[in-house]
Structure 1
Amino acid sequence: MSKQLFANEKVVTQYLGALLSDDVPAKDLEPVAKLLEQVAYEEQKEQPLQVESVVEPVVEVEKCHEQVTNVEIDSHQVQQLETEHDVALGNEAEYFDGEFQALFFEVAGLTLAVPLKALGGIHELGEVNHLFGKPKWFKGVMINREEKLNVVDTARWVMPEKYDEQLEASLNYQYLITLGDSQWGLLAEKLINNITLSKEDVKWRTNDSKRPWLAGVIKEKMCALIDVNNLNALLEKGLDSRHK
């Protein structure tokens, strides 16, 4: 599988539209993913962003403990979780209020965008210390100014149906894009540009029950706009893009 930019608008529309739809099962994305492999690459001439180098990473990293799952919670905890969820939705709405700026970046030929207000930082990729017992998409921990950043293999997380050994070998990650105030970061091969968008530029997700990490699809650019709060929530639970 060669690494290609999704330049064919019809095929990209089909793929991203399927991601937005609640009626399309994950297995039905596989034929579309195969079509994307055949699309020719046409590089867009965009101004690259300036990125500061990170501090030399420290080799020794403390091992993280596995998260506890299937715990019982009482009604007070449920109410607290619902309140936190409502606050998160309110904060997310602020990112997209009126005009907003988004950072565009590329992973395995797919262009993704994250709102600048939800962006934690951009770092050149340093040494990653691998941890045992973590999901396959969890690459490990990178140290930046004494802070431990959790490194996510973006291609494996976003497009598990396309991920194979050949795609893995073709990836050339250069940057780590951290999300909000969290320690989670998405790996990126290429930074494209900052672009100002309005709500009308986006085909928004219509149902929160499926692929909550996807806020919508930016129509002109044909790329996925990330819902940072929901993405962070999935990462904290150890779930990939196929879960809700």
Structure 2
Amino acid sequence: MSHLIASQKVIQHYLSALLTEDEPLAPQETALAETKKAELNRLLAQATPVAAPVENVVAAPVQTQVVQPVAKATVAPVVTETAVPVAAPVLRERAIPIAERLAVTPPPQLKVEKAYRQGSFQALFFSVAGLRIAVPLTELGGIHELGPINNLPGKADWFKGIMLHRAQKIQLVDTARWVMPEKYTATLATELNYQYVIMLGTSNWGLCCELLIDTINLEPEQIKWREQEGKRPWMAGLIKEQKCVLVDVDELVKLLNQGLDVNA
């Protein structure tokens, strides 16, 4: 035990000497240091035979490392909260007025390209007060001679009345008054000589006309098509050579059902 304590004192003393080795030593201190070094080597050899000699350890330069203080991690204090029950939010639906429930916005209608615009087609030409009008045969519902007319009060000025044809009640249109109301005068009214009824598709609407002209085969390039939406929807286009209107039957029927004339 005393031997171990003596060896520890020698090691501590030697390490202290290393830390101050830059200071010059007196001759007697140098001799003492050499003596202690030899004694330390002897003690180390006795304690651990495989240990390296002190000279080998001393040969390597000793690097002094500055140990940085380790910052203490800040630990957030643990706060114990009492769980407070939170009531779930009450969702209340807005009362929808009946008017809003009934007002259903219809989906936008896509414009359907007419089949007769894809190639050649036939059209019936007729005249009213000197004005030529054409209807595609594919949208022509038939042709009837004008018969007795039953007038109905409270209708638009251009509504001529009801004509019975077999089991069908045909709603007659005073075509001249509907197409050119600004030129319709009392004189023109007395000069008109309606003889035929041009049926519009599968509807009950019929255009009164004075003269059936002819059925002509047309090519799409012979027509200046109406391209602007909302402007004169009842016109499919203008036939260049004959200088007359080609009727869009579907759009014309829509206007008639709404009680609108050409100025709508």
What is the TM-score normalised by the length of structure 1? 0.65
- Offset from partner CA, 1:58-92 (integer Å, 9 cap, x none): xxxxxxxxxxxxx999564522xx34xx3xx42x6
Assess if the C-alpha contact under 8 Å between 1:179 and 1:232 holds in 2: yes
User: Structure 1 residues 187 and 72, CA, compared in 2 at 3 Å: closer, same or farther?
Assistant: farther
**Mapped partners of 1:73, 1:171: distance in 2:** 50
Corresponding residue SS for 1:161: helix
Q: Secondary structure at the match of 1:230?
A: helix
The answer on 1:78 being equivalent to 2:99 is: no
Identify the residue that residue 120 of structure 1 maps to in structure 2: 141
> Partner amino acid for 2:151?
H
The reply to whether residue 171 of structure 1 matches residue 192 of structure 2 is: yes
Change (3 A) 1:165 1:75: same
**Percent sequence identity over matched residues?**
54
Q: Which amino acid is the alignment partner of residue 237 of structure 1?
A: Q
1:106 aligns with 2:127: yes
Shift of 1:211: 1.1
Distance 1:112-1:78 versus aligned 2 partners, 3 A rule: same
**Which of 1 and 2 has higher RCO (CA within 8 Å, sep 6+)?**
1
Question: What is the one-letter code of the residue matched to 1:96?
Answer: R
Match of 1:157 in 2: 178
Asked which structure has the greater CA Rg, the reply is 2
Distance of 1:155 and 1:107 partners within structure 2: 6
What residue in structure 1 maps to residue 160 of structure 2?
A: 139
**How far apart are residue 97 of structure 1 and its match?**
2.4
Distance across 2 between alignment mates of 1:72 and 1:226: 38
Which one of the candidate residues 237, 240, 244 is aligned to 2:258? Answer: 237
Q: Give the counterpart of 1:208 among 223, 229, 247.
A: 229
Tell me the secondary structure at the aligned position of residue 104 of structure 1: strand
Per the alignment, do residues 204 and 132 of structure 1 end up closer, same or farther by CA in structure 2, a change over 3 Å counting? Answer: same
Alpha carbons of 1:72 and 1:207: their partners in 2 closer, same or farther (altered >3 Å)? farther
Question: What is the count of residue pairs matched by the alignment?
Answer: 166
* 4+ runs deviating over 3 angstroms: 71-77
How far did 1:214 drift?
A: 0.9
The 8 Å contact of residues 95 and 118 in structure 1, kept in 2 or not, is answered as no
Q: Structure 2 vs 1, CA of residues 74 and 96 (structure 1 numbering), >3 Å: closer, same or farther?
A: farther
5+ long unaligned stretches in structure 2 = 1-98
Structure 1's 148 and 207: CA in aligned 2 closer, same or farther, altered over 3 A? same
Q: Distance in 1 between matches of 2:120 and 2:244?
A: 18
Name the aligned partner's letter for residue 261 of structure 2. D
What is the alpha-carbon distance in structure 2 between the residues aligned to residue 146 and residue 194 of structure 1? 28
Distance in 1 of aligned mates of 2:100 and 2:225: 34
- How big is each residue's C-alpha offset from its partner over 1:47-67, in whole Å with a ceiling of 9 and x where there is no partner? xxxxxxxxxxxxxxxxxxxxx
The 1:72/1:216 distance shift into structure 2, 3 A limit, reads farther
What are the Cα deviations for residues 208-232 of structure 1, in whole angstroms up to 9, with x where unaligned? 2111101111000000110101000
Q: Distance in 1 between matches of 2:172 and 2:206?
A: 5
TM-score (norm 2): 0.60
For structure 1, list consecutive stretches of 5 or more residues without a partner in the other structure: 1-70
Q: Give, as a single letter, the amino acid of the residue that structure 1 aligns with 2:106.
A: V
Match of 2:118 among 97, 105, 111: 97
Residues 17-39 of structure 1 deviation map (CA, whole Å, 9 limit, x = unaligned) = xxxxxxxxxxxxxxxxxxxxxxx
SS at match of 1:128: coil
CA distance in 1, matches of 2:158, 2:124: 22
Classify the secondary structure of the residue corresponding to 1:127: coil
* Structure 1 residues 157-178: Cα deviation after superposition (integer angstroms, max 9, x where no partner): 0011110101111100000001
Other structure's SS at 2:176 match: helix
* CA contact 1:137–1:153 (8 Å) conserved in 2: yes
